[in-house]
């Protein structure tokens, strides 16, 4: 029975690490970046000056049971679809506003 508990514990720990490092999102001084995958990698980056919109998407369950959890969709003028999606972000509304504020700062600095 102890071996079973140990195997379950190790499996849970590995899965938690996998989920933690499979998706990583960055909001930097010049833009946003999404890194997906551990073995295979999908990196996407957008500078604030190129971002055309930032949207928040929340499912019924995210709104009802998981307060503050949501997906942040970031699109550029290159396509109509979001190019970068931050999945299951805690305090999603706050981070959406952070990105929008940095977009405004970058755009106001470069406009004459």
Distance between the two ends of the chain, CA-based, in angstroms?
Answer: 71
**Helix (H), strand (E), coil (C) string for 45-89:** EEEHHHEEEEEEECCHHHHHCCCCCEEEEEEECCCCCCCEEEEEE
What residue numbers bound the domain in which 22 lies? 2-110
For 63-98, what is each residue's pLDDT tens digit?
777 678 899 999 988 778 899 999 888 899 999 999
Total domains, the chain = 1
Q: pLDDT tens digits for 22-31?
A: 678 999 999 9
What is the pLDDT of the chain when averaged over all its residues?
A: 84
32, 25 contact by CB (below 8 A): yes
DSSP state for residue 19 in the 8-state scheme = H
Supply the pTM of this predicted model: 0.74
Q: Output the domain CATH number for residue 96.
A: 2.30.29
């Amino acid at each position: 029975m102890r071996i079973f508990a140990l195997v379950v514990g190790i499996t849970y720990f590995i899965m938690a690490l996998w989920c933690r490092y499979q998706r990583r999102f960055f909001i930097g001084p010049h833009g946003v970046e999404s890194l997906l995958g551990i073995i295979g990698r999908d990196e996407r980056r957008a500078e604030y000056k190129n971002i055309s919109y930032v949207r928040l998407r929340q499912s019924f369950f995210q709104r009802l049971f998981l307060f503050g959890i949501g997906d942040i969709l970031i699109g550029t003028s290159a396509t109509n679809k979001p190019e970068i999606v931050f999945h299951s972000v805690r305090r999603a509304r706050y981070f959406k506003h952070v990105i929008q504020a940095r977009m405004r700062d970058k755009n106001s600095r470069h406009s004459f």
